[in-house]
Amino acid sequence: MPSEIEKSRSAPSDKLNDAQNGDSDQDKSDSISLPAHVAGSGNLGRLVDTARDYARAAASDNTLKAYAKDWAHFTRWCRMKGTEPLPPSPEMMGLYLADLASGSGPSPALSVSTIDRRLSGLVWNYAQRGFTFDRKNRHIATVLAGIKRRHARPPVQKEAILAEGILAMVATLPFELRGLRDRAMLLLGYAGGLRRSEIVSLDVHKDDTPDSGGWIEIFEKGALLTLNAKTGWREVEIGRGSKEQTCPVHALEQWLHFARIDFGPVFVRTSRDGKKALEARLNDKHVARLIKRTVLEAGIRSELPEKDRLALFSGHSLRAGLGSSAEVDERYVQKQLGHTSAEMTRRYQRRRDRFRVNLTKAAGL
């Protein structure tokens, strides 16, 4: 009876050329074409182009870039070991994972989470090349289980930015166009518990741009954000604050008014002199840089060296800050953050009362 390896090697040999050519994920989505036995036509040709566009949209640009790097690293490793990445070999994949975890090569050992994510990227890459690759195969699963047992560590969490911190950060921003934009981004991201990608992907209206990740609606009592998030479409309600200086909705209105934005991306670049809003959407890295810069200028955790302070805070600090600061029922925080489980929400609550519910006493002890 043929082994798993023999079954894998029975795949069409022309796929072996994919790895040699260093094809990208973009190239793989472009390979979508008509079946050989179907006669081509203008209508079908246009559908092929449409299918390619949908295939490219199956994952975010950042995810596709990460998957491309995963494949490039694995194929390079295979060449160095004198083997081929195609057809897939569970045994070789197990050795590759062991190499990543041990750091026996020129590169340092990777964390368990990075190894797990890289394996997911390779499974995806194999699928794009027409191969079925089971990560539950014993040659992979047992090695990965051993890596996790020996090297797994609790996740390193970014520090939450609490209410007093976000107020100090926005106070460092000037009241000119660029400052109005950055103030709106920080307050909206904090009050909405938004990911940095969700902040910059907002449009003024539905379907304003092809790369929109959601849109805004402003009402008397607040703003409603409709987001195309990782877990699907969801709505985020952001109520007005107790005063205009710290109100995220007021900050958003000020930015849109003075930047004269009534269509397209909400958060865009500005001219060099900072006096004119441009059309280009901001990159999500701007949010991370903005948070780190204002954390330093506001003097948050000033007792630490600058390098350590920069490492403590990221875009997730806004989400963790909302989860830690909002003194409301946990289910409301869970809904705002878009979490499917309360356990995930609790990871964002840095200072929650862990023993508010005492099951020991409730059990009669």
Asked if the model's pLDDT at residue 202 lies above 80, the reply is yes
Asked if the model's pLDDT at residue 332 lies above 90, the reply is no
pLDDT for 319: 80
pLDDT for 41: 59
pLDDT for 16: 47
Asked if the model's pLDDT at residue 3 lies above 60, the reply is no
- The larger pLDDT score, comparing residue 345 to residue 162, is at 162
Asked if the model's pLDDT at residue 359 lies above 80, the reply is no
Q: Which pair of tokens denotes residue 241?
A: 């604050």
pLDDT for 323: 66
Q: What separation in angstroms does the CA of 41 have from each of 13, 32, 50? A: 29, 15, 14
pLDDT for 75: 95
b vs e for 139-169, b when ≥16 Cβ sit within 10 Å of the residue's Cβ? bbeebbeebeeeeeeeeeebbbbbeebbbbb
Confidence band of 1 (pLDDT split at 50, 70, 90): very low
pLDDT in tens, 206-257: 999 988 999 999 999 999 999 987 667 888 888 999 888 889 999 999 999 9
Task: Please compute the mean of the pLDDT values over residues 112-126 and round it to a whole number.
Answer: 92
Judge whether 295 and 314 are in contact, CB under 8 Å.
no
pLDDT for 143: 93
pLDDT in tens, 12-45: 444 445 454 445 444 444 566 666 666 555 677 7
Asked if the model's pLDDT at residue 59 lies above 70, the reply is yes
Asked if the model's pLDDT at residue 331 lies above 60, the reply is yes
Confidence band of 203 (pLDDT split at 50, 70, 90): very high
Task: Please compute the mean of the pLDDT values over residues 119-138 and round it to a whole number.
Answer: 91
Q: Which of 23-37, 110-124, 130-144 has the lowest mean pLDDT?
A: 23-37
Radius of gyration of the chain (CA): 25
| Residues whose CB is less than 8 angstroms from the CB of residue 260 and which lie 6 or more positions away in sequence, other chains included | 277
Asked if the model's pLDDT at residue 356 lies above 60, the reply is no
Residue 80 CA to residue 85 CA, distance in Å, equals 11
pLDDT in tens, 282-326: 999 999 999 999 999 999 998 989 988 888 888 878 887 776 666
pLDDT for 36: 63
Confidence band of 338 (pLDDT split at 50, 70, 90): low
pLDDT for 365: 63
The whole-model pTM stands at 0.67
pLDDT in tens, 61-97: 778 889 999 999 999 999 999 999 999 999 999 999 9
Judge whether 324 and 158 are in contact, CB under 8 Å.
no
Distance of CA 308 to the CA centre of its chain: 23
Q: What angle do CA 272, 172, 236 make, to 5 degrees?
A: 90
